[in-house]
Structure 1
Protein backbone atom coordinates (compact mmCIF):
# COMPACT_ATOMS: atom_id res chain seq x y z
CA UNK A 1 0.00 0.00 0.00
CA UNK A 2 1.42 3.37 -1.06
CA UNK A 3 1.28 6.40 1.23
CA UNK A 4 -0.06 9.36 -0.75
CA UNK A 5 0.18 13.09 -0.04
CA UNK A 6 -1.93 15.62 -1.95
CA UNK A 7 -1.22 19.30 -2.52
CA UNK A 8 -4.03 21.70 -3.43
CA UNK A 9 -7.71 20.73 -3.58
CA UNK A 10 -9.35 22.48 -6.49
CA UNK A 11 -11.48 21.31 -9.40
CA UNK A 12 -9.06 18.56 -10.39
CA UNK A 13 -9.21 17.17 -6.85
CA UNK A 14 -13.02 17.10 -7.00
CA UNK A 15 -13.08 15.31 -10.36
CA UNK A 16 -10.59 12.65 -9.21
CA UNK A 17 -11.87 12.15 -5.64
CA UNK A 18 -14.10 9.14 -6.34
CA UNK A 19 -11.25 7.43 -8.19
CA UNK A 20 -8.97 8.09 -5.20
CA UNK A 21 -11.57 6.50 -2.95
CA UNK A 22 -11.71 3.38 -5.15
CA UNK A 23 -7.93 2.90 -4.92
CA UNK A 24 -8.21 3.27 -1.14
CA UNK A 25 -10.99 0.69 -0.95
CA UNK A 26 -8.88 -1.69 -3.03
CA UNK A 27 -6.05 -1.29 -0.54
CA UNK A 28 -3.70 0.23 -3.13
CA UNK A 29 -3.13 3.60 -1.39
CA UNK A 30 -3.59 5.50 1.86
CA UNK A 31 -3.94 9.30 1.73
CA UNK A 32 -2.00 10.77 4.65
CA UNK A 33 -3.18 14.36 4.17
CA UNK A 34 -3.70 17.40 1.98
CA UNK A 35 -1.41 20.42 1.80
CA UNK A 36 -3.16 23.74 1.08
CA UNK A 37 -2.26 27.37 0.72
CA UNK A 38 -5.43 28.54 2.45
CA UNK A 39 -6.40 26.24 5.32
CA UNK A 40 -10.13 26.54 6.01
CA UNK A 41 -10.72 23.27 7.87
CA UNK A 42 -8.90 20.71 9.98
CA UNK A 43 -10.09 17.85 7.76
CA UNK A 44 -11.41 17.64 4.20
CA UNK A 45 -13.20 14.41 3.19
CA UNK A 46 -11.69 12.83 6.28
CA UNK A 47 -8.12 13.72 5.28
CA UNK A 48 -6.05 15.92 7.66
CA UNK A 49 -5.24 19.34 6.24
CA UNK A 50 -1.98 21.19 6.74
CA UNK A 51 0.30 23.61 4.92
CA UNK A 52 2.05 22.62 1.72
CA UNK A 53 5.41 23.05 3.45
CA UNK A 54 4.36 20.67 6.23
CA UNK A 55 2.96 17.99 3.92
CA UNK A 56 6.17 17.98 1.87
CA UNK A 57 8.17 17.21 5.01
CA UNK A 58 6.05 14.20 5.95
CA UNK A 59 6.77 10.60 4.97
CA UNK A 60 4.97 9.60 1.79
CA UNK A 61 5.66 7.44 -1.23
CA UNK A 62 4.03 9.59 -3.91
CA UNK A 63 2.84 13.18 -4.15
CA UNK A 64 -0.30 14.07 -6.10
CA UNK A 65 -0.62 17.55 -7.55
CA UNK A 66 -4.28 18.52 -7.56
CA UNK A 67 -3.92 22.09 -8.77
CA UNK A 68 -4.95 23.41 -12.18
CA UNK A 69 -3.99 20.78 -14.75
CA UNK A 70 -2.45 23.28 -17.17
CA UNK A 71 0.06 24.23 -14.46
CA UNK A 72 1.11 20.66 -13.66
CA UNK A 73 4.42 20.74 -15.54
CA UNK A 74 5.39 24.04 -13.95
CA UNK A 75 4.49 22.89 -10.44
CA UNK A 76 6.32 19.60 -10.92
CA UNK A 77 9.45 21.42 -12.10
CA UNK A 78 9.32 23.65 -9.01
CA UNK A 79 9.07 20.63 -6.70
CA UNK A 80 11.95 18.92 -8.49
CA UNK A 81 14.03 22.08 -8.07
CA UNK A 82 13.72 21.80 -4.27
CA UNK A 83 14.89 18.21 -4.25
CA UNK A 84 11.78 16.03 -4.71
CA UNK A 85 12.30 13.11 -7.11
CA UNK A 86 10.40 13.59 -10.37
CA UNK A 87 9.26 9.95 -10.41
CA UNK A 88 7.44 10.47 -7.11
CA UNK A 89 5.29 13.36 -8.39
CA UNK A 90 2.05 12.51 -10.20
CA UNK A 91 -0.87 14.48 -11.55
CA UNK A 92 -4.02 13.55 -9.65
CA UNK A 93 -5.76 13.36 -13.04
CA UNK A 94 -4.13 10.00 -13.81
CA UNK A 95 -6.59 8.46 -11.35
CA UNK A 96 -9.34 9.28 -13.85
CA UNK A 97 -7.80 7.09 -16.55
CA UNK A 98 -10.07 4.20 -17.61
CA UNK A 99 -9.19 1.04 -15.65
CA UNK A 100 -6.59 2.93 -13.60
CA UNK A 101 -4.61 0.91 -11.08
CA UNK A 102 -2.03 2.55 -8.83
CA UNK A 103 0.32 -0.43 -8.81
CA UNK A 104 0.28 -0.65 -12.62
CA UNK A 105 0.89 3.09 -12.93
CA UNK A 106 3.88 2.96 -10.58
CA UNK A 107 5.21 0.03 -12.60
CA UNK A 108 4.86 2.06 -15.82
CA UNK A 109 6.66 5.06 -14.31
CA UNK A 110 9.49 2.92 -12.95
CA UNK A 111 9.94 1.03 -16.23
CA UNK A 112 10.52 4.33 -18.10
CA UNK A 113 8.96 3.20 -21.36
CA UNK A 114 10.15 4.88 -24.56
CA UNK A 115 7.41 4.91 -27.19
CA UNK A 116 8.40 4.78 -30.86
CA UNK A 117 5.52 5.72 -33.15
CA UNK A 118 5.05 6.89 -36.74
CA UNK A 119 2.22 9.32 -35.91
CA UNK A 120 0.51 11.12 -32.99
CA UNK A 121 -0.29 7.98 -30.95
CA UNK A 122 2.88 8.19 -28.88
CA UNK A 123 2.41 11.83 -27.93
CA UNK A 124 -1.28 11.36 -27.13
CA UNK A 125 -0.43 8.34 -24.98
CA UNK A 126 2.22 10.20 -22.98
CA UNK A 127 -0.21 13.11 -22.54
CA UNK A 128 -2.98 10.79 -21.31
CA UNK A 129 -0.60 9.29 -18.75
CA UNK A 130 0.76 12.71 -17.71
CA UNK A 131 4.19 11.23 -18.33
CA UNK A 132 7.49 12.68 -19.50
CA UNK A 133 8.35 12.30 -23.20
CA UNK A 134 11.05 9.62 -23.19
CA UNK A 135 11.24 9.48 -26.97
CA UNK A 136 12.05 11.84 -29.86
CA UNK A 137 9.15 10.42 -31.91
CA UNK A 138 6.76 13.11 -30.60
CA UNK A 139 4.82 15.87 -32.39
CA UNK A 140 5.73 14.52 -35.80
CA UNK A 141 4.91 11.80 -38.32
CA UNK A 142 6.87 9.48 -40.59
CA UNK A 143 5.54 8.09 -43.90
CA UNK A 144 4.68 4.43 -43.44
CA UNK A 145 7.18 3.01 -45.95
CA UNK A 146 9.98 5.12 -44.45
CA UNK A 147 9.01 4.14 -40.93
CA UNK A 148 9.15 0.40 -41.56
CA UNK A 149 12.62 0.80 -43.12
CA UNK A 150 13.73 2.72 -40.04
CA UNK A 151 12.49 -0.03 -37.75
CA UNK A 152 14.09 -2.76 -39.86
CA UNK A 153 17.44 -0.99 -39.53
CA UNK A 154 16.81 0.73 -36.20
CA UNK A 155 20.36 0.92 -34.79
CA UNK A 156 21.80 2.21 -38.06
CA UNK A 157 19.22 4.97 -38.55
CA UNK A 158 19.19 6.09 -34.91
CA UNK A 159 22.92 6.85 -35.20
CA UNK A 160 22.29 9.16 -38.16
CA UNK A 161 22.16 12.92 -37.71
CA UNK A 162 18.98 14.85 -38.36
CA UNK A 163 19.43 17.11 -41.39
CA UNK A 164 17.14 19.76 -42.84
CA UNK A 165 15.48 18.65 -46.08
CA UNK A 166 12.65 21.01 -47.03
CA UNK A 167 9.48 22.76 -45.90
CA UNK A 168 5.99 21.50 -46.64
CA UNK A 169 2.64 23.27 -46.43
CA UNK A 170 0.01 21.90 -44.02
CA UNK A 171 -3.49 22.87 -45.17
CA UNK A 172 -5.11 22.23 -41.75
CA UNK A 173 -2.51 24.34 -39.93
CA UNK A 174 -2.39 26.83 -42.83
CA UNK A 175 1.37 27.14 -42.56
CA UNK A 176 4.59 25.45 -43.56
CA UNK A 177 6.49 23.04 -41.34
CA UNK A 178 10.02 21.57 -41.56
CA UNK A 179 10.84 18.15 -42.99
CA UNK A 180 14.16 16.57 -41.98
CA UNK A 181 16.08 13.51 -43.08
CA UNK A 182 17.43 10.76 -40.86
CA UNK A 183 19.60 9.10 -43.47
CA UNK A 184 16.98 8.65 -46.21
CA UNK A 185 14.02 8.61 -43.78
CA UNK A 186 11.68 11.61 -43.88
CA UNK A 187 10.76 13.08 -40.49
CA UNK A 188 7.77 15.41 -40.81
CA UNK A 189 7.90 17.83 -37.87
CA UNK A 190 4.40 19.16 -38.49
CA UNK A 191 3.99 20.54 -34.96
CA UNK A 192 7.05 22.78 -35.24
CA UNK A 193 7.50 26.08 -37.05
CA UNK A 194 11.26 25.82 -37.58
CA UNK A 195 13.82 23.10 -38.20
CA UNK A 196 16.01 24.48 -35.41
CA UNK A 197 13.24 23.96 -32.83
CA UNK A 198 12.47 20.46 -34.13
CA UNK A 199 16.15 19.50 -34.17
CA UNK A 200 16.63 20.68 -30.58
CA UNK A 201 13.63 18.66 -29.36
CA UNK A 202 14.74 15.56 -31.28
CA UNK A 203 18.16 15.40 -29.61
CA UNK A 204 16.85 16.51 -26.22
CA UNK A 205 14.29 13.69 -26.13
CA UNK A 206 16.62 11.19 -27.77
CA UNK A 207 18.94 11.53 -24.76
CA UNK A 208 16.08 10.42 -22.49
CA UNK A 209 15.41 7.20 -24.41
CA UNK A 210 15.45 3.93 -22.53
CA UNK A 211 16.62 1.43 -25.13
CA UNK A 212 15.88 -1.43 -22.72
CA UNK A 213 12.17 -0.51 -22.56
CA UNK A 214 11.06 0.28 -26.09
CA UNK A 215 7.41 0.08 -27.05
CA UNK A 216 7.04 0.22 -30.83
CA UNK A 217 3.69 1.25 -32.35
CA UNK A 218 2.53 1.73 -35.91
CA UNK A 219 -0.70 2.40 -37.76
CA UNK A 220 -0.97 1.26 -41.36
CA UNK A 221 -3.62 0.32 -43.89
CA UNK A 222 -1.11 -1.79 -45.82
CA UNK A 223 -1.19 -5.55 -45.26
CA UNK A 224 2.35 -5.86 -46.64
CA UNK A 225 3.75 -3.29 -44.19
CA UNK A 226 1.84 -4.85 -41.32
CA UNK A 227 3.43 -8.23 -42.13
CA UNK A 228 6.90 -6.65 -42.20
CA UNK A 229 6.14 -4.96 -38.87
CA UNK A 230 5.05 -8.28 -37.38
CA UNK A 231 8.46 -9.78 -38.23
CA UNK A 232 10.40 -7.06 -36.37
CA UNK A 233 12.49 -8.27 -33.41
CA UNK A 234 11.19 -5.72 -30.89
CA UNK A 235 9.86 -7.42 -27.76
CA UNK A 236 6.93 -5.04 -27.25
CA UNK A 237 5.15 -3.86 -30.36
CA UNK A 238 1.67 -3.29 -31.75
CA UNK A 239 0.39 -2.32 -35.19
CA UNK A 240 -3.13 -0.94 -35.62
CA UNK A 241 -4.84 -1.94 -38.87
CA UNK A 242 -8.31 -1.31 -40.37
CA UNK A 243 -8.67 -4.83 -41.78
CA UNK A 244 -9.08 -8.29 -40.27
CA UNK A 245 -5.79 -10.12 -39.71
CA UNK A 246 -4.22 -12.96 -37.74
CA UNK A 247 -0.86 -11.23 -37.27
CA UNK A 248 0.37 -11.64 -33.69
CA UNK A 249 1.25 -7.99 -33.13
CA UNK A 250 -1.77 -6.51 -34.92
CA UNK A 251 -4.90 -4.99 -33.44
CA UNK A 252 -7.67 -4.88 -36.01
CA UNK A 253 -10.30 -2.19 -35.58
CA UNK A 254 -12.47 -4.09 -38.06
CA UNK A 255 -12.27 -7.40 -36.18
CA UNK A 256 -13.24 -5.81 -32.88
CA UNK A 257 -16.03 -3.71 -34.37
CA UNK A 258 -17.67 -5.10 -37.49
CA UNK A 259 -19.37 -1.73 -38.01
CA UNK A 260 -16.06 0.15 -37.89
CA UNK A 261 -15.85 3.05 -40.32
CA UNK A 262 -14.28 6.48 -40.38
CA UNK A 263 -10.88 8.03 -40.90
CA UNK A 264 -8.51 5.29 -39.75
CA UNK A 265 -5.64 7.35 -38.30
CA UNK A 266 -8.10 9.54 -36.38
CA UNK A 267 -9.69 6.44 -34.86
CA UNK A 268 -6.28 5.18 -33.70
CA UNK A 269 -5.51 8.56 -32.16
CA UNK A 270 -8.83 8.51 -30.30
CA UNK A 271 -7.79 5.21 -28.75
CA UNK A 272 -4.69 6.93 -27.34
CA UNK A 273 -6.73 9.74 -25.81
CA UNK A 274 -9.08 7.30 -24.06
CA UNK A 275 -12.13 8.31 -26.08
CA UNK A 276 -12.92 4.69 -27.00
CA UNK A 277 -13.04 1.63 -24.75
CA UNK A 278 -10.53 -0.61 -26.49
CA UNK A 279 -7.48 -1.42 -24.40
CA UNK A 280 -6.01 -0.84 -20.96
CA UNK A 281 -3.05 1.43 -21.76
CA UNK A 282 -1.12 0.60 -18.58
CA UNK A 283 -1.37 -3.13 -19.18
CA UNK A 284 -0.41 -2.65 -22.82
CA UNK A 285 2.72 -0.62 -22.03
CA UNK A 286 3.68 -2.85 -19.11
CA UNK A 287 3.73 -5.89 -21.38
CA UNK A 288 0.73 -7.72 -19.91
CA UNK A 289 -1.11 -10.06 -22.27
CA UNK A 290 -4.69 -9.25 -21.20
CA UNK A 291 -4.61 -5.59 -22.23
CA UNK A 292 -7.71 -5.63 -24.45
CA UNK A 293 -10.95 -4.41 -22.88
CA UNK A 294 -13.12 -5.84 -25.65
CA UNK A 295 -13.56 -9.36 -27.01
CA UNK A 296 -15.44 -11.19 -29.70
CA UNK A 297 -18.79 -12.85 -29.01
CA UNK A 298 -18.45 -16.42 -27.74
Structure 2
Protein backbone atom coordinates (compact mmCIF):
# COMPACT_ATOMS: atom_id res chain seq x y z
CA UNK A 1 0.00 0.00 0.00
CA UNK A 2 1.19 3.51 -0.83
CA UNK A 3 0.53 6.03 1.98
CA UNK A 4 -0.24 9.66 1.22
CA UNK A 5 2.03 11.85 3.32
CA UNK A 6 2.18 15.56 4.11
CA UNK A 7 5.53 17.02 5.19
CA UNK A 8 5.32 19.84 7.74
CA UNK A 9 8.38 22.05 7.55
CA UNK A 10 11.24 22.96 5.21
CA UNK A 11 14.73 23.51 6.57
CA UNK A 12 17.66 21.66 8.06
CA UNK A 13 15.73 18.59 9.22
CA UNK A 14 13.88 18.30 5.93
CA UNK A 15 17.14 18.64 3.99
CA UNK A 16 18.77 15.88 6.05
CA UNK A 17 15.88 13.50 5.33
CA UNK A 18 14.89 14.35 1.77
CA UNK A 19 16.93 11.42 0.39
CA UNK A 20 15.07 9.01 2.68
CA UNK A 21 11.77 10.51 1.53
CA UNK A 22 12.80 10.05 -2.08
CA UNK A 23 13.86 6.45 -1.40
CA UNK A 24 10.51 5.62 0.22
CA UNK A 25 8.79 7.32 -2.72
CA UNK A 26 10.88 5.30 -5.18
CA UNK A 27 9.89 2.10 -3.35
CA UNK A 28 6.25 3.23 -3.71
CA UNK A 29 5.73 3.07 0.04
CA UNK A 30 4.71 6.72 0.28
CA UNK A 31 3.47 9.53 -1.93
CA UNK A 32 4.24 13.05 -0.74
CA UNK A 33 1.07 14.96 -1.56
CA UNK A 34 2.08 18.29 -0.01
CA UNK A 35 4.75 20.20 1.88
CA UNK A 36 3.61 22.94 4.25
CA UNK A 37 5.72 25.76 5.65
CA UNK A 38 4.42 29.32 6.13
CA UNK A 39 7.94 30.76 5.80
CA UNK A 40 8.23 29.44 2.25
CA UNK A 41 4.97 30.86 0.89
CA UNK A 42 6.80 31.99 -2.27
CA UNK A 43 7.47 28.40 -3.40
CA UNK A 44 5.19 26.28 -5.58
CA UNK A 45 7.42 23.15 -5.45
CA UNK A 46 10.58 21.89 -3.81
CA UNK A 47 12.43 18.74 -4.87
CA UNK A 48 9.50 17.97 -7.13
CA UNK A 49 6.95 18.06 -4.29
CA UNK A 50 4.10 20.62 -4.17
CA UNK A 51 4.31 23.35 -1.52
CA UNK A 52 0.77 24.07 -0.34
CA UNK A 53 -0.68 26.97 1.62
CA UNK A 54 -1.86 25.90 5.07
CA UNK A 55 -5.29 27.39 4.27
CA UNK A 56 -5.75 24.64 1.69
CA UNK A 57 -4.88 21.80 4.07
CA UNK A 58 -8.51 20.74 4.47
CA UNK A 59 -8.69 20.02 0.72
CA UNK A 60 -5.84 17.48 0.81
CA UNK A 61 -6.47 13.78 1.24
CA UNK A 62 -3.67 12.22 3.28
CA UNK A 63 -2.91 9.34 5.63
CA UNK A 64 -0.08 10.75 7.73
CA UNK A 65 1.72 14.01 8.42
CA UNK A 66 5.43 14.02 9.31
CA UNK A 67 6.68 16.94 11.43
CA UNK A 68 10.12 18.13 10.32
CA UNK A 69 10.73 20.04 13.55
CA UNK A 70 12.57 19.27 16.79
CA UNK A 71 10.04 21.11 18.94
CA UNK A 72 7.13 19.02 17.65
CA UNK A 73 4.94 19.69 20.69
CA UNK A 74 4.98 23.39 19.81
CA UNK A 75 3.34 22.66 16.46
CA UNK A 76 1.08 19.88 17.71
CA UNK A 77 -1.54 22.25 19.13
CA UNK A 78 -1.72 24.13 15.82
CA UNK A 79 -2.29 20.89 13.94
CA UNK A 80 -4.98 19.74 16.32
CA UNK A 81 -6.69 23.10 15.86
CA UNK A 82 -6.63 22.46 12.13
CA UNK A 83 -8.54 19.23 12.69
CA UNK A 84 -5.62 16.83 12.23
CA UNK A 85 -5.98 13.91 14.62
CA UNK A 86 -2.99 13.00 16.76
CA UNK A 87 -2.98 9.47 15.31
CA UNK A 88 -2.04 10.91 11.91
CA UNK A 89 0.94 12.92 13.18
CA UNK A 90 4.39 11.31 13.02
CA UNK A 91 7.79 12.60 14.24
CA UNK A 92 10.58 12.90 11.69
CA UNK A 93 12.88 10.64 13.73
CA UNK A 94 11.10 7.56 12.39
CA UNK A 95 12.92 8.28 9.12
CA UNK A 96 16.19 7.59 10.98
CA UNK A 97 15.20 4.01 11.86
CA UNK A 98 17.61 1.69 10.01
CA UNK A 99 16.09 -0.29 7.13
CA UNK A 100 12.74 1.45 7.60
CA UNK A 101 9.72 -0.11 5.94
CA UNK A 102 6.91 2.44 6.11
CA UNK A 103 4.28 -0.23 5.67
CA UNK A 104 5.78 -2.25 8.52
CA UNK A 105 5.91 0.86 10.66
CA UNK A 106 2.24 1.63 10.04
CA UNK A 107 1.22 -1.92 10.92
CA UNK A 108 3.05 -1.69 14.26
CA UNK A 109 1.65 1.77 14.95
CA UNK A 110 -1.93 0.81 14.19
CA UNK A 111 -1.68 -2.39 16.24
CA UNK A 112 -1.47 -0.36 19.48
CA UNK A 113 1.19 -2.68 20.84
CA UNK A 114 1.75 -2.84 24.60
CA UNK A 115 5.40 -3.41 25.45
CA UNK A 116 6.09 -4.99 28.81
CA UNK A 117 9.70 -4.77 30.02
CA UNK A 118 11.63 -4.81 33.28
CA UNK A 119 13.56 -1.62 32.55
CA UNK A 120 13.49 1.43 30.26
CA UNK A 121 13.75 -0.61 27.04
CA UNK A 122 10.04 -0.47 26.25
CA UNK A 123 9.76 3.26 26.84
CA UNK A 124 12.79 3.88 24.64
CA UNK A 125 11.28 1.82 21.82
CA UNK A 126 8.08 3.88 22.04
CA UNK A 127 10.22 7.03 21.85
CA UNK A 128 12.31 5.79 18.92
CA UNK A 129 9.23 4.89 16.89
CA UNK A 130 7.11 7.85 17.95
CA UNK A 131 4.35 5.53 19.16
CA UNK A 132 1.74 6.17 21.79
CA UNK A 133 2.86 4.49 25.01
CA UNK A 134 0.27 1.79 25.74
CA UNK A 135 2.09 0.34 28.73
CA UNK A 136 2.80 1.42 32.33
CA UNK A 137 6.30 -0.08 32.12
CA UNK A 138 8.07 3.17 31.31
CA UNK A 139 10.71 5.09 33.30
CA UNK A 140 11.08 2.31 35.86
CA UNK A 141 12.74 -1.02 36.56
CA UNK A 142 11.97 -4.24 38.41
CA UNK A 143 14.42 -6.72 39.81
CA UNK A 144 14.44 -10.12 38.14
CA UNK A 145 12.42 -12.13 40.67
CA UNK A 146 9.83 -9.40 41.11
CA UNK A 147 9.38 -9.09 37.35
CA UNK A 148 8.92 -12.85 36.92
CA UNK A 149 6.33 -12.85 39.70
CA UNK A 150 4.43 -10.10 37.94
CA UNK A 151 4.55 -11.85 34.56
CA UNK A 152 3.21 -15.05 36.09
CA UNK A 153 -0.11 -13.29 36.74
CA UNK A 154 0.19 -9.84 35.22
CA UNK A 155 -3.47 -9.10 34.59
CA UNK A 156 -4.35 -9.71 38.24
CA UNK A 157 -1.36 -7.77 39.56
CA UNK A 158 -2.25 -4.73 37.47
CA UNK A 159 -5.65 -4.57 39.13
CA UNK A 160 -4.03 -3.70 42.47
CA UNK A 161 -3.37 -0.05 43.36
CA UNK A 162 0.20 1.21 43.02
CA UNK A 163 1.24 2.31 46.52
CA UNK A 164 4.25 4.16 47.88
CA UNK A 165 6.82 2.04 49.72
CA UNK A 166 9.90 4.22 50.33
CA UNK A 167 12.44 6.52 48.75
CA UNK A 168 15.80 5.26 47.54
CA UNK A 169 18.81 7.23 46.37
CA UNK A 170 20.12 6.95 42.84
CA UNK A 171 23.77 7.31 43.71
CA UNK A 172 25.06 8.30 40.26
CA UNK A 173 22.67 11.27 40.17
CA UNK A 174 22.39 11.96 43.89
CA UNK A 175 18.58 12.10 43.81
CA UNK A 176 15.86 10.31 45.74
CA UNK A 177 13.31 8.36 43.74
CA UNK A 178 10.13 6.57 44.86
CA UNK A 179 9.98 2.81 45.18
CA UNK A 180 6.38 1.75 44.70
CA UNK A 181 4.55 -1.39 45.72
CA UNK A 182 2.13 -3.44 43.68
CA UNK A 183 0.81 -5.88 46.23
CA UNK A 184 4.04 -7.80 47.09
CA UNK A 185 6.12 -6.51 44.16
CA UNK A 186 8.43 -3.48 44.32
CA UNK A 187 8.76 -1.18 41.34
CA UNK A 188 11.66 1.27 41.19
CA UNK A 189 10.55 4.52 39.54
CA UNK A 190 14.07 5.87 39.13
CA UNK A 191 13.19 8.57 36.58
CA UNK A 192 10.75 10.34 38.88
CA UNK A 193 10.83 12.13 42.20
CA UNK A 194 7.13 12.70 42.95
CA UNK A 195 4.92 9.86 44.17
CA UNK A 196 1.71 11.45 42.92
CA UNK A 197 3.13 11.89 39.42
CA UNK A 198 4.26 8.26 39.36
CA UNK A 199 0.78 7.07 40.33
CA UNK A 200 -0.90 9.36 37.81
CA UNK A 201 1.30 8.12 34.95
CA UNK A 202 0.93 4.50 36.01
CA UNK A 203 -2.87 4.62 36.15
CA UNK A 204 -3.16 6.47 32.85
CA UNK A 205 -0.87 4.04 31.04
CA UNK A 206 -2.50 0.99 32.63
CA UNK A 207 -5.80 2.07 31.12
CA UNK A 208 -4.22 1.86 27.65
CA UNK A 209 -2.89 -1.70 27.86
CA UNK A 210 -3.88 -3.80 24.87
CA UNK A 211 -3.97 -7.35 26.20
CA UNK A 212 -4.64 -8.57 22.67
CA UNK A 213 -1.25 -7.35 21.49
CA UNK A 214 1.45 -7.71 24.14
CA UNK A 215 5.19 -7.84 23.52
CA UNK A 216 7.14 -8.97 26.58
CA UNK A 217 10.87 -8.30 27.03
CA UNK A 218 13.34 -9.02 29.81
CA UNK A 219 16.99 -8.21 30.27
CA UNK A 220 19.05 -10.20 32.75
CA UNK A 221 22.57 -11.46 33.29
CA UNK A 222 21.32 -14.44 35.29
CA UNK A 223 20.95 -17.74 33.40
CA UNK A 224 18.52 -19.16 35.95
CA UNK A 225 16.26 -16.12 35.66
CA UNK A 226 16.19 -16.22 31.86
CA UNK A 227 15.20 -19.90 31.94
CA UNK A 228 12.31 -19.04 34.22
CA UNK A 229 11.35 -16.21 31.87
CA UNK A 230 11.30 -18.55 28.88
CA UNK A 231 9.08 -20.97 30.77
CA UNK A 232 6.42 -18.35 31.52
CA UNK A 233 3.47 -18.73 29.18
CA UNK A 234 3.54 -15.32 27.53
CA UNK A 235 4.25 -14.59 23.89
CA UNK A 236 5.66 -13.06 21.88
CA UNK A 237 8.66 -12.42 24.11
CA UNK A 238 12.36 -11.70 23.87
CA UNK A 239 15.18 -11.94 26.37
CA UNK A 240 18.34 -9.83 26.25
CA UNK A 241 21.38 -11.63 27.71
CA UNK A 242 25.16 -11.07 27.78
CA UNK A 243 26.02 -14.63 26.74
CA UNK A 244 25.67 -16.77 23.64
CA UNK A 245 22.49 -18.79 23.17
CA UNK A 246 21.04 -20.07 19.90
CA UNK A 247 17.38 -19.95 20.91
CA UNK A 248 15.24 -17.55 18.87
CA UNK A 249 13.75 -15.92 21.96
CA UNK A 250 17.14 -14.73 23.23
CA UNK A 251 19.41 -12.00 21.88
CA UNK A 252 23.04 -11.78 22.97
CA UNK A 253 23.80 -8.10 23.52
CA UNK A 254 27.42 -6.91 23.66
CA UNK A 255 28.63 -3.84 25.50
CA UNK A 256 30.07 -1.41 22.97
CA UNK A 257 31.58 2.06 23.17
CA UNK A 258 30.93 3.75 26.50
CA UNK A 259 28.29 1.24 27.65
CA UNK A 260 29.92 0.24 30.92
CA UNK A 261 26.88 -1.65 32.23
CA UNK A 262 24.83 -4.33 30.49
CA UNK A 263 21.52 -2.49 30.92
CA UNK A 264 23.00 0.48 29.06
CA UNK A 265 23.91 -1.76 26.13
CA UNK A 266 20.37 -3.16 26.13
CA UNK A 267 18.84 0.33 26.16
CA UNK A 268 21.21 1.59 23.44
CA UNK A 269 19.81 -1.02 21.08
CA UNK A 270 16.31 0.36 21.60
CA UNK A 271 17.40 3.58 19.90
CA UNK A 272 19.29 4.61 16.77
CA UNK A 273 22.43 6.11 18.30
CA UNK A 274 25.80 4.73 19.34
CA UNK A 275 25.62 1.11 20.44
CA UNK A 276 22.53 0.32 18.36
CA UNK A 277 23.49 -2.55 16.08
CA UNK A 278 21.71 -5.80 16.93
CA UNK A 279 18.18 -5.97 15.50
CA UNK A 280 15.55 -4.26 13.39
CA UNK A 281 13.11 -3.15 16.06
CA UNK A 282 10.09 -3.10 13.72
CA UNK A 283 10.72 -6.66 12.59
CA UNK A 284 11.26 -7.70 16.21
CA UNK A 285 7.93 -6.23 17.33
CA UNK A 286 6.17 -7.64 14.26
CA UNK A 287 7.24 -11.19 15.03
CA UNK A 288 9.42 -11.45 11.92
CA UNK A 289 12.04 -14.12 12.65
CA UNK A 290 14.53 -12.29 10.40
CA UNK A 291 14.96 -9.40 12.84
CA UNK A 292 18.76 -9.53 13.16
CA UNK A 293 20.74 -6.81 11.44
CA UNK A 294 24.10 -8.48 11.83
CA UNK A 295 26.05 -11.72 11.99
CA UNK A 296 28.72 -12.36 14.58
CA UNK A 297 32.17 -13.80 13.99
CA UNK A 298 32.33 -17.54 14.40
Return the TM-score normalized by structure 1: 0.92
- For 2:34, the equivalent position in structure 1 comes to 33
Structure 1 residues 74 and 135: CA distance shift in structure 2, 3 A: farther
Aligned CA-pair RMSD: 2.0
Q: Distance in 2 between matches of 1:188 and 1:45?
A: 49
Displacement of 1:57 after TM fit? 3.1
Match of 2:65 in 1: 63
Q: Cα offset for 1:152?
A: 1.3
- Mapped partners of 2:242, 2:250: distance in 1: 10
Counterpart of 2:270? 272
Between the aligned partners of 1:265 and 1:146, the Cα distance in structure 2 is 17
1:54 aligns with 2:52: no
Q: Is the 8 Å Cα contact of residues 35 and 49 (structure 1) preserved in structure 2? A: yes
* Partners of 2:136 and 2:74 in 1: CA distance: 21
How far has the Cα of 1:172 moved from its partner? Answer: 1.9
Greater alpha carbon shift after TM alignment, 151-160 vs 191-200? 151-160
Structure 1 residue 244: deviation in Å? Answer: 1.7
Indicate conservation of the 8 Å contact 1:12/1:93, yes or no: no
Secondary structure, aligned partner of 2:24: helix
Q: State the secondary structure of the residue aligned to 1:50.
A: coil
Preserved CA contact (<8 Å) 1:16 1:93: no
Q: Is this contact kept in 2: 1:180–1:188, CA < 8 A? A: yes
d(CA) in 2 for partners of 1:75, 1:33:
17
Name the residue aligned to 1:194. 194
1:130-185 CA-partner distances (Å, limit 9, x unpaired): 12211111011111111111111212211111011000011122110111101111
- Paired with 2:278 and 2:97, the residues of 1 have a C-alpha distance of 13
**Higher mean Cα deviation, 104-113 or 34-43?**
34-43
Q: Partner residue of 1:106?
A: 106
How far apart are the structure 1 equivalents of 2:29 and 2:177?
A: 46
Pair 1:160 & 2:160 matched: yes
Q: Give per-residue Cα distances to partners, 1:107-149, cap 9 Å, x unaligned.
A: 0111111111111111111111112211111011111111111
Q: Give the superposition deviation at 1:76.
A: 3.1
Q: Report the Cα distance in structure 1 between the residues aligned to 2:47 and 2:55, rounded to whole angstroms.
A: 21
Q: How far off its partner does 1:56 sit?
A: 4.3
Is contact 1:165–1:181 with CA below 8 Å preserved after alignment? yes
- Listed as ranges, the matches of 1:1-298 within 5 Å are 1-38=2-39, 39-67=41-69, 69=70, 71-253=71-253, 262-275=260-273, 276-296=276-296
State the Cα distance separating 1:52 from its structure 2 match: 2.1
**Mapped partners of 2:197, 2:26: distance in 1:** 46
Kept in 1: contact 2:35–2:52 (CA 8 A):
yes
Number of residue equivalences? 293
Alpha-carbon distance between aligned partners in 1 of 2:90 and 2:216, rounded to the nearest angstrom: 25
Q: Distance in 2 between matches of 1:81 and 1:184?
A: 45
Q: Give the distance between the partners of 2:91 and 2:194, measured in 1 at CA.
A: 31
User: Which runs of 5 or more structure 2 residues have no equivalent in the other structure?
Assistant: none
Distance 1:78 1:232 in 2: 46
CA contact (8 A) 2:94 2:129 kept: yes
C-alpha contact 1:42 1:48 (8 A) present in aligned 2: yes
